[in-house]
Chains A and B, each alone.
Chain A
Amino acid sequence: MPAPARLYAKAIQLMPLIAFTNARLLDPASQHDETGTLVAEGGKITAFGAGVAAPEGAQIVDCAGLCLAPGLVDMRVAVGEPGEEQRETILSASRSAAAGGITAFAMLPNTTPVIDGIAGLEFVARRAREAKLVKIFAYGAVTQGAAGRDLAEMGLLAEAGAIGFTDGTNAIGDALTMRRALSYARAFGKVIVQHPEEPSLAAGGQMNEGEISTRLGLSGISRAAEIIMLERDLRLVELTGGRYHAAHLSTAEGVELIRDAKSAGLPVTCDVAPPYFALSEIDIGDYRTFAKLSPPLRTDDDRRALIAGIADGTIDAIASDHAPQDQDAKRVPFAAAAPGVVGLETLLPIALELYHKGAIGLLDLLARMTFAPAKILGLPLGQLKVDAAADLVIFDLDRPWVINADAFRSKSKNSPFDKRPVAGAVVMTVVDGRIVHQS
């Protein structure tokens, strides 16, 4: 089986010798947490630990006790390029990711045109090379045009570097198509990522179905839309043995289903995005379109169940689910507004709320945003390890600040977290030993 091809180019010049001293070195994979020095040369980690000294001639970055962890790996990012560059380009997404401490992300294929062929992957690779900031991987579409009918050329896409397969923001609604996708992807060792929402139950829906949707006069999406799709898919996983990943869970029952599937030994993983554990349907208030998501924000009980799922490891990964939308798509009546939230620059601080609240330990929390998603995608990233890529984030765990959407590097500002006070700020982002962001 070919190793997953990386769709970025390393900087051509020789990677400098650099040493990060006086850092709180955090490696979730090995549960390593001690103050010391990390040395990188040629883009790779050459040594790290308490007893390590900065070598002669190295560029010294004194971390003054700040946290140094593997750079975040974000497994769910929508970019507007090609086709909707006014929302986000690969360059603006790269800058936004770097500012958020994300050193690698996986891009959804829902572009215009859809990435369902080699040309699309090559385009992304070229643009990522030009941006030269963070590592960008791309999913291939499961079906042609992500329309849910005929399988895309998954084998050729895998060969060309597709990191996995998904129809992205579209659910694979047809059971037979899903069965075949799960079976077929096995041959290439790739994961199928599903947007778990039964399309006919969700059709026309604007928010979670319940008292609030009734009061606001917005058509609801039943929680059953997610539950039914997960139940169906898990049966198909059982049938095919294919590797399955449920994206952005929103319901308590969804967490429960994945928990049971895992204990039954099925090859299943899942992720959640910060809005789902930091907000609930109440945050829609008086028709706030920035709180319109797909799947919709659910109840406070769901929110708590998702946090419990993150803490006990049922939820493998936290992904930003970055979905840039321009003003025209959000400054409209709620029913006409596009769903989604920009998330690259708020992933870390919102996730850190869980640590600050005592819901989860720091290393476990970082695991959900580093080596866990990397492992799902088969990437050798997200760890502090000698010979591993020197992809790092340095952050101040406690620094209080107020999120300001206007200051985002992303082209879009659609954040429900604007003006939210948070604790924990990215200070520096390093990719292959090269500083790509500094604040």
Chain B
Amino acid sequence: MNAPSAPNDEASLPDGLVWNRRHMLGIEGWSAAEITAVLDLSDRYVEQNRRADKRSTELRGRTIMNLFFEDSTRTRTSFELAGKRLGADVLNMSVGSSSVKKGESLLDTAMTLNAMRPDFLVVRHAQSGAPKLLADKVNCSVLNAGDGTHEHPTQALLDALSIRRRKGRLEGLTVAICGDILHSRVARSNIHLLGTMGAHVRVVGPPTLIPSSIDRMGVEVFTDLDEGLKDADIVMMLRLQSERMNGKFVPSPREYFRFHGLTSERLKVAKPDALIMHPGPMNRGVEIDSEVADDIGRSLILDQVEFGVAVRMACLRLLASTQKQSN
């Protein structure tokens, strides 16, 4: 039923993959070997997901709870599909309508769910560090699906997979992460991941949206888009996160697009084969021009969505292997 390459033995990971983490809370501190392990396993799941029968049984009997305190159709659906394709039971807790609205604390909610013995809690929360708070209290694996402006590890992994499948490598590439760096957990996870894998990372944005001391994270900082895009292999656009903003960081979307919006004209200074990425959802005409976003030859935006499912399958599978060990 499964392709020969698909890992299906619960007891061990294929090809001597080594995995020791119980939770996935952020990329910071991961080794290149750990990142590579996820990406290699993800490649196999990309193949599985392209078959007519997409289902395997590696996580049969395990329970995944999607606990999204912030709305997200894309990421939640991706995790849901990932779990189902591995044969797990997946529950989506719609937190907005549950006891949290009645004043129950985050920890009480988590402890209640924990008592139902899930194997995974997939958590998205508007506040940085919320998954870490839960991970300290529950006895299942916690997967961070985005916390505040801290990290979004599976997004960085799917971005890396998308790049690696097109460019064949990560090392030595120049990646320009552009836009609202300050409010972006995607940027932070990508900076950690790409830096660890030997890419040259730039951050580009208006000075008010560049976080303090970010150069200390090993990136080059640009406030001029043309300079930041020069000779880039990868252009990663970020969404202007108006909903996280406390007051105005830029005068208007119009002005933002004028100086920081990606157009095909602007892109000319990048490498001729430069690829465009966006974690979505896009604000067309604010940070990215439709012409660029929809350019099939250059845009990785739909690859990112497709590979997101594979990466999340790999993450769940790897975490399941440590659960097995610890039981």
Instruction: Indicate, yes or no, whether A interacts with B.
Output: yes
Task: Provide the A59-82 mask, 1 if CB < 8 A to any CB of B, else 0.
Answer: 000000000000000000000000
Chain A residues positioned under 8 Å from B217 (CB to CB): 211, 214-215
Query: Is B231 positioned at the interface, with any CB of A under 8 Å from its CB?
Result: no
Chain A residues positioned under 8 Å from B130 (CB to CB): 333
B216/A334 in contact, CB under 8 A: no
A218/B128 in contact, CB under 8 A: yes
Chain B residues positioned under 8 Å from A209 (CB to CB): 212
Residue of A whose beta carbon sits closest to that of B134: A333
Chain B residues positioned under 8 Å from A331 (CB to CB): 105, 107, 133
A214/B214 in contact, CB under 8 A: yes
Question: Interface stretch among B54-62, B77-85, B145-153?
Answer: B145-153
B28/A333 in contact, CB under 8 A: no
A217/B149 in contact, CB under 8 A: yes
Looking at chain A's contact residues, the main secondary structure is loop
Query: Is A213 positioned at the interface, with any CB of B under 8 Å from its CB?
Result: yes
Query: Is A204 positioned at the interface, with any CB of B under 8 Å from its CB?
Result: yes
Query: Is A175 positioned at the interface, with any CB of B under 8 Å from its CB?
Result: no
B128/A335 in contact, CB under 8 A: yes
Chain B residues positioned under 8 Å from A222 (CB to CB): 212
Chain B residues positioned under 8 Å from A334 (CB to CB): 127-129
Q: From known contacts A203-B246, A286-B132, infer whether A336 and B213 are also in contact, taking CB-CB under 8 Å.
A: no
Q: How distant is the Cα of A222 from the Cα of B212 in the complex, in angstroms?
A: 9
Chain B residues positioned under 8 Å from A176 (CB to CB): none
Q: How many residues of B contact A (CB 8 A)?
A: 25
What is the distance, in angstroms, from A338's C-beta to the closest C-beta of chain B? 13
A210/B132 in contact, CB under 8 A: no
Task: Provide the B18-44 mask, 1 if CB < 8 A to any CB of A, else 0.
Answer: 000000000010000000000000000
A333/B214 in contact, CB under 8 A: no
CB interface residues, A 190-233, toward B, < 8 Å: 203-204, 209-211, 213-220, 222
Query: Is A58 positioned at the interface, with any CB of B under 8 Å from its CB?
Result: no
Q: From known contacts A286-B132, A332-B105, infer whether A217 and B185 are also in contact, taking CB-CB under 8 Å.
A: yes
A214/B213 in contact, CB under 8 A: yes
Residue of A whose beta carbon sits closest to that of B188: A217
Query: Is A328 positioned at the interface, with any CB of B under 8 Å from its CB?
Result: yes
What is the distance, in angstroms, from A281's C-beta to the closest C-beta of chain B? 12
Q: From known contacts A333-B128, A336-B127, infer whether A219 and B214 are also in contact, taking CB-CB under 8 Å.
A: no
What is the distance, in angstroms, from A220's C-beta to the closest C-beta of chain B? 6
Chain B residues positioned under 8 Å from A287 (CB to CB): 128-129, 132-133
What is the distance, in angstroms, from A226's C-beta to the closest C-beta of chain B? 16
Query: Is B95 positioned at the interface, with any CB of A under 8 Å from its CB?
Result: no
A216/B106 in contact, CB under 8 A: no
Q: How distant is the Cα of A216 from the Cα of B125 in the complex, in angstroms?
A: 14
- Our pick among A210, A211, A215, A333 for the contact of B127 (Cβ within 8 Å) is A333
Q: From known contacts A203-B246, A333-B133, infer whether A214 and B127 are also in contact, taking CB-CB under 8 Å.
A: no
Residue of A whose beta carbon sits closest to that of B211: A214
Chain B residues positioned under 8 Å from A335 (CB to CB): 127-129, 148
Please indicate which of the listed interface residues B125, B147, B148 has the most CB atoms of chain A within 10 Å of its own CB.
Answer: B148
Q: How distant is the Cα of A328 from the Cα of B108 in the complex, in angstroms?
A: 11
Residue of B whose beta carbon sits closest to that of A200: B247
What is the distance, in angstroms, from A203's C-beta to the closest C-beta of chain B? 7
Chain B residues positioned under 8 Å from A211 (CB to CB): 212-214, 216-217
Chain A residues positioned under 8 Å from B211 (CB to CB): 213-214, 220
| CB-based A-B contact count at 8 angstroms | 74
Residue of B whose beta carbon sits closest to that of A334: B129
B212/A332 in contact, CB under 8 A: no
Residue of B whose beta carbon sits closest to that of A287: B129
CB interface residues, B 119-156, toward A, < 8 Å: 125, 127-130, 132-133, 147-151
A204/B148 in contact, CB under 8 A: no
Residue of A whose beta carbon sits closest to that of B185: A217
Chain B residues positioned under 8 Å from A213 (CB to CB): 211-212
CB interface residues, A 311-339, toward B, < 8 Å: 328, 331-336
Q: How distant is the Cα of A219 from the Cα of B249 in the complex, in angstroms?
A: 14
Q: How distant is the Cα of A204 from the Cα of B107 in the complex, in angstroms?
A: 23
A219/B246 in contact, CB under 8 A: yes
Chain A residues positioned under 8 Å from B151 (CB to CB): 217
What is the distance, in angstroms, from B216's C-beta to the closest C-beta of chain A? 4
- Our pick among A204, A210, A219, A332 for the contact of B106 (Cβ within 8 Å) is A332
Chain B residues positioned under 8 Å from A332 (CB to CB): 105-107, 133
CB interface residues, A 331-352, toward B, < 8 Å: 331-336
Please indicate which of the listed interface residues B106, B127, B147, B149 has the most CB atoms of chain A within 10 Å of its own CB.
Answer: B127
Please indicate which of the listed interface residues A204, A287, A332 has the most CB atoms of chain B within 10 Å of its own CB.
Answer: A287
Chain A residues positioned under 8 Å from B107 (CB to CB): 331-332
B212/A217 in contact, CB under 8 A: no
- Our pick among A203, A214, A333 for the contact of B129 (Cβ within 8 Å) is A333
What is the distance, in angstroms, from B78's C-beta to the closest C-beta of chain A? 22
A210/B213 in contact, CB under 8 A: yes
Q: How distant is the Cα of A251 from the Cα of B28 in the complex, in angstroms?
A: 29
Chain A residues positioned under 8 Å from B105 (CB to CB): 328, 331-332
Q: How distant is the Cα of A211 from the Cα of B133 in the complex, in angstroms?
A: 21
Q: From known contacts A204-B246, A209-B212, A332-B106, infer whether A215 and B129 are also in contact, taking CB-CB under 8 Å.
A: no
Chain A residues positioned under 8 Å from B216 (CB to CB): 211, 214
Chain A residues positioned under 8 Å from B214 (CB to CB): 211, 214
Q: How distant is the Cα of A336 from the Cα of B151 in the complex, in angstroms?
A: 18
A interface residues, Cβ below 8 angstroms from B: 203-204, 209-211, 213-220, 222, 286-287, 328, 331-336
What are 12 sample pairs from A and B whose C-beta atoms fall under 8 A apart? A210-B212, A211-B213, A211-B216, A214-B212, A214-B216, A216-B129, A220-B212, A287-B128, A287-B133, A333-B128, A333-B148, A335-B129
Q: Closest 4 A-B residue pairs measured CB to CB? A: A217-B150, A287-B129, A333-B127, A217-B149
Q: Identify 11 new A-B residue pairs, CB closer than 8 A, beyond the known A333-B106, A335-B128.
A: A214-B188, A215-B188, A215-B217, A218-B148, A219-B246, A220-B212, A286-B129, A287-B128, A331-B105, A333-B148, A334-B129
